[in-house]
Amino acid sequence: FNNATNIQNIISRVTGGSVSNIDGLIKALGNANLFLLNPAGIIFGPNAQLNIGGSFLGSTANSFIFDNGFEFSATNPEAPPLLTINIPIGLRFRDKPGSITTQSANLEVPSGNSLTLVGGNVSLDKGKLTAPGGRIELGGLSVVGEVGLNENGSLNFPNNVDNVARADVSVTNGTSIDVRAGVEALLQSMLVI
């Protein structure tokens, strides 16, 4: 992203129904947080890297929701354009959210920031997620619903978990999750090791 260095948040969406295969560098200038939305799915290949100054959120939700009632949708890009200086307060999921997969990827955010992956099933196969002094959150939702985004970067799943079908989060083949004196690493679903 060739953004101005004073930009605080970059909110992006992928439309068209194809999975994002990321096998290279995602870069943003300055200390911007990066929000990436693709309902069809996201795959981080073995060469995937983040070079951003802030937090990263990757999601296969259908849209970001904002406190002013606006939605920034990847599945309905014909909706009126959204111009806002707010950050998203939630993720809205429709039928069958896509998966997020890491394939030996080493994803890292700068010290004190968050690395969040929330979608349908989330599968980490080898590789490493790092947020030194920050937080890592992984979550999955398998049905229509909303997941809140708190100001500190944490996920807020609905309180009534009996009625919420969460998807699987799997961590396999020696995947490492490292917050080095960070706030926490949370898995908001079933953990399979």
Total count of domains within the chain = 1
Q: Which residue has tokens 């398998």? A: 142
Residue 2 falls inside a structural domain: no
Residue 69 falls inside a structural domain: yes
Query: What residues make up the domain containing 36?
Result: 9-192
Give dist(CA 116, CA 186) in Å, integer. 10
What's 86's domain CATH number?
2.160.20.10
Query: CA distances (Å), 56 to each of 10, 113, 142, 173, in order?
Result: 10, 8, 22, 24
Mean pLDDT of 153-171: 66
Please tell me the chain's helix, strand, coil percentages from 3-state DSSP, rounded to the nearest 5: 0, 45, 55
Residue 1 falls inside a structural domain: no
Residue 4 falls inside a structural domain: no
pLDDT in tens, 13-45: 999 899 999 999 999 999 999 999 999 999 999
pLDDT at 170: 72
The reported pTM is 0.87
